[in-house]
Amino acid sequence: MAKEVKLLGFWTSPYVYRVEWALKLKGVDYEYLEEDIFNKSTRLLELNPIHKKVPVLVHDKKVILESHVILEYIDETWEQNPLLPKDPRERAMARFWAKYGDEKLLSAWKATWLKGEEKAKAVEESIEALEKIEEELKEKKYFEGEGIGYLDLALGWIAYWLPVMEKVGSMQLLKEEKFPAITSWISKFLSHPVIKDKLPPWDELVVYFDEKREARYNSYYPKQREN
């Protein structure tokens, strides 16, 4: 029998992983379909004609797009193990920080392929963002308190993709002594039973992002003519 929940994804995408983590935390059975985002299938283009991106969740023929929208849909459809808090203010704060995190994910990525002053500026911006996130986390076990939730999933890229970016970008953003709360959270997050079994292979991920970084660098700084 065909599974009623399907997820279209790409193996390196943190946006896809946060959806998989949510489905697994809820104990929802789903079929994962790998998409080649560099050679987009008719299926993907038909399901997401506006943005042509993954993740795409298909539930009983309903199509849901955009990772944070999908997370809320999952939370509302399967009510066990709630991801978002109940209090409206806390929900608003979680949504705010998730959006902030996604902006800063892109800044950190930019820092990997920039050079000189531009790189320094992007690094500084990323560190400032981490300082704000550190303050938000403080002494909590997870972002929303005792249990893993929406904001942990949304910021999960910090635990695994940020170190990849640090490596390929030859930069250090997450100094342990400077970010004790985030460091501790990373350790808890990555050892959570659902998360630890659902992460992309490290070495391959590093190779992938290193290639992408080099390509971006070369297109942004076209080679000077040698005299």
Partner 1 sequence: MSKGEVVVLDFWVSPFCMRVKIALEEKGVEYEGREEDLFGGKSELLLKSNPIYQKVPVLLHNGKPLCESTTIVSYIDEVWPSPPLLPPCAYGRAQARFWADFIDKKVFDAVGKIWRSKGKVAESAKEEFLEILKQLEGALGEKDYFGGDSFGFVDVIAIPLTSWFHAVEKFGGFKVEDECPKFSAWMKKCMQKESVAKIIPDPEKVYEFVIMMRKMQGIE
- Using the structure block, give the residue that is written with the tokens 């930019």: 110
* Sole binder of partner 1 in the list 65, 171, 194, 199 (CB under 8 A): 65
Given the complex with partner 1, which of 43 and 91 has the nearer CB atom? 91
**Distance between start and end Cα atoms, the chain:** 66
Closer to partner 1 by Cβ: residue 64 or 108? 64
Only one of the segments 60-68, 105-113, 149-157, 195-203 lies at the binding site for partner 1 (rule: CB under 8 A); that segment is 60-68
Distances (CA, A) of 183 to 55, 81, 133, 142, 186: 28, 25, 12, 12, 5
Question: 3-state class of 58 per DSSP?
Answer: strand
Closest distance between partner 1 and the C-beta of residue 51, in Å?
A: 8
Residue 72 binds partner 1 (CB under 8 A): yes
Minimum Å gap between C-beta 128 and partner 1 is: 10
Q: Copy the structure tokens of residue 40.
A: 């987009």
With contacts defined by CB under 8 A, name the span among 84-92, 181-189, 200-208, 210-218 that binds partner 1. 84-92
Q: Which of 88, 116, 193, 222 binds partner 1 (CB under 8 A)?
A: 88
HSE of 4 in the Cβ direction (CA atoms, 13 Å)? 3
Question: Angle at which helices 116-137 and 88-113 pack, to 10 degrees?
Answer: 160
Chain residues 131-170 in contact with partner 1, contact rule CB under 8 A = 132
DSSP structure class, residue 213: H
16 makes contact with partner 1 (CB under 8 A): no
Residue with tokens 């998409």: 35
CB of 52 vs partner 1, minimal distance in Å: 13
- Please identify which residue in the block is written with the tokens 């249990």: 147
Compute the distance between CA of residue 157 and CA of residue 103 in angstroms, rounded to an integer. Answer: 12
Number of residues that bind partner 1 (CB under 8 A): 23
Give burial (CB, 10 Å; 0-12/13-18/19+) of 51. Answer: exposed
Binding mask 19-58 for partner 1 (x = CB under 8 A): -------------------------------x--------
What are 15's two structure tokens? Answer: 């946006």
Q: Rule CB under 8 A: is residue 89 a binding residue for partner 1? A: yes
- Out of 4, 76, 124, 131, point to the residue binding partner 1 (CB under 8 A): 76
Contacts to partner 1 by CB under 8 A: 50, 59, 62, 64-66, 68-70, 72-73, 76-77, 88-89, 91-93, 95-96, 99-100, 132
